[in-house]
Amino acid sequence: AKERGRNNFQFFKPEMNVRAVERQVIEANLRLALIRNEFSLHYQPKINLESGAITGAEALLRWAHPQWGMVPPIRFIRIAEDCGVIVPIGRWVLREACAQTKQWQDDGLTIAAISVNISAVEFRRQDFVEGVRTILAETGLSPNCLQLEITESVLMHHAEGSVAILQQLKDMGIQLAVDDFGTGYSSLSYLNQFPIDVLKIDKSFVNDIGASKTDGDGGIVSAVIAMGNSLNQKVIAEGIEKQGQLSFLKAQHCEEGQGYIFSRPLAAEQFAKLLRLGVTA
Ligand code: C2E
Ligand code: CA
Ligand code: CA
Ligand code: CA
């Protein structure tokens, strides 16, 4: 029915209609959100599992809509990608995260690196690398304090092109992490060609540890840690919630972790308090 041209709304199922309208409303509000200053970043600490020290943080986008309240990223990132507004939003996120981290460092707080999520749409733009370079220069953050998280599926799609972009970022001194590792369809030979510093084990695998399910014995997690170690890549596990998961990861010598067991993502002031303490609550 979609191909029949204009004035064909009656051919859509009612629920499709509602979804299409909802998308349009969210899209329009996303464009306004930048102007109205409705975005903020929360910061989730990354922990060295052996020492318990905070090594860095992941910046996570938050949208406070004046009428709808907090809108979770899962409700709007995809829509922002589809309509392209993720590009100015992504620039805002990168600039804010770099400026905030530089501020913390100037205030005497120790934070080794800030991680920022990069969407497929941003990563594939011609001007992406230059945009990152500009923001680093403008904020004064050292490139080796910036870590970009790019999902495995984004890297593997057009893997050849990805290698070239990653290498340019790497040459600038930026750290590179593969996000959601294990959920894509990595060709191991490519993984070896990517100049990657960090493998981020997806939380679905961490969640399975100890569960009476497919990977309850943590076989996938152990394999990823072993592979990361042999490729000289740091391995970080996300979504750690339970003591049993943490014990298992420590026993397997997973270097870093992130998850509610340590801390939820925090507003900037709360995260700064945590940094001042130097340990997790
Ligand atoms: P992600 O990059 O995989 O981020 C991890 C998500 O897991 C975050 O959800 C985080 O709050 C959540 N999380 C952290 N610890 C735990 C835990 O122990 N248990 C559970 N169940 N969840 C945990 P959030 O903030 O809702 O973000 C969801 C996704 O939205 C992110 O997944 C990322 O793909 C995307 N996203 C968030 N911020 C940005 C951004 O600035 N730019 C882009 N392009 N994407 C973003
Ligand atoms: Ca991430
Ligand atoms: Ca993830
Ligand atoms: Ca599994």
| 180 CA to centre of ligand 3 in angstroms | 4
Rounded distance between C-alpha atoms, residue 6 and residue 10, angstroms: 11
Residue 2 has pLDDT above 70, yes or no: no
Q: Is 60 in the pocket of ligand 1 (CB under 6 A)?
A: yes
Q: Is 73 in the pocket of ligand 1 (CB under 6 A)?
A: yes
| 26 CA to centre of ligand 1 in angstroms | 19
pTM: 0.92
* pLDDT for position 135: 98
Q: Are 26 and 79 in contact (CB under 8 A)?
A: yes
Determine which residue's CA is closest to atom 20 belonging to ligand 1: 239
pLDDT digits (tens, 9 = 90+) for 152-195: 989 988 888 999 999 999 999 999 999 999 887 767 777 888 99
pLDDT digits (tens, 9 = 90+) for 117-145: 999 999 999 999 999 999 999 999 999 99
How large is the average pLDDT for residues 223-234?
92
pLDDT bin (cut points 50, 70, 90) of residue 1 is very low
